[in-house]
Amino acid sequence: MKLIIAAIKPFKLEEVREALTTIGVRGMMVTEIKGFGSQSGHTEIYRGAEYAVNFVPKVRLEIVVSDSLADQVVETIRATAKTDKIGDGKIFVLDVQQAVRVRTGETNDDAL
């Protein structure tokens, strides 16, 4: 099993969710986050004064899938979340050693 963590632009969330549902992803966790990467924030003007916004709003997706589906999930997120502008986000893939469904006690792939 793989844990896929993706940080994407917030306005892309619904489009990415629909694309993932289409390929068979049955669940995900979503968190609103703030961060910065190579773009290092940006500047905005408010009431005539310019100020730096050091943290950019993003959405963090956490998805656990079987090994066979992981590459397809990564490519779907990459293609759907892409805007060709700086700050499109990042995707990380980690190994998952165990998963347990609390209600039934099912484990690993059966728990997904």
Identity (one letter) of the amino acid at 17? R
Q: What percent of the chain has pLDDT over 70?
A: 89
* Residue closest to 66 by CA, chosen among 13, 26, 7: 26
Per-residue confidence (pLDDT) for residue 39, from 0 to 100: 65
Per-residue confidence (pLDDT) for residue 56, from 0 to 100: 83
Round the average pLDDT of the chain to a whole number and report it.
Answer: 91
Per-residue confidence (pLDDT) for residue 41, from 0 to 100: 60
Q: What is the tens place of the pLDDT at every residue in 69-89?
A: 999 999 999 999 999 988 899
Question: And the tokens for 32?
Answer: 């609103």
Binned at pLDDT 50, 70 and 90, residue 7 comes out as very high
* Residue closest to 20 by CA, chosen among 56, 51, 53, 63: 63
Q: What is the mean predicted confidence (pLDDT) over 36-56?
A: 71
For the entire predicted model, the pTM comes to: 0.85
Q: How many whole angstroms separate alpha carbon 81 and alpha carbon 67?
A: 22
Question: And the tokens for 92?
Answer: 């990380």
